[in-house]
Chains A and B, each alone.
Chain A
Amino acid sequence: DVKVTQSSRYLVKRTGEKVFLECVQDMDHENMFWYRQDPGLGLRLIYFSYDVKMKEKGDIPEGYSVSREKKERFSLILESASTNQTSMYLCASSLLSPGQGAGYTFGSGTRLTVV
Chain B
Amino acid sequence: EDQVTQSPEALRLQEGESSSLNCSYTVSGLRGLFWYRQDPGKGPEFLFTLYSAGEEKEKERLKATLTKKESFLHITAPKPEDSATYLCAVQGDKSGSEKLVFGKGTKLTVNP
Contacts and interface: CB of A to CB of B under 8 A. Distances in A.
Contact of B51 (A45, A101, A107): A101
Most buried by B among A94, A96, A111: A94
B98 interface: yes
Do most interface residues of chain B lie in helix, strand or loop, or is the interface mixed? loop
Please tell me the size bucket of the interface on B. 20 to 34
A12 to B, nearest CB: 15
Q: Which 5 A-B pairs have the closest CB atoms?
A: A101-B32, A101-B31, A101-B91, A106-B43, A42-B104
Interface of B: 30-32, 34, 36, 41-46, 49, 51, 87, 89, 91, 98-100, 102-105
Interface of A: 4, 31, 33, 40-43, 45, 48, 50, 58, 88, 90, 92, 94, 96-97, 99-109, 111
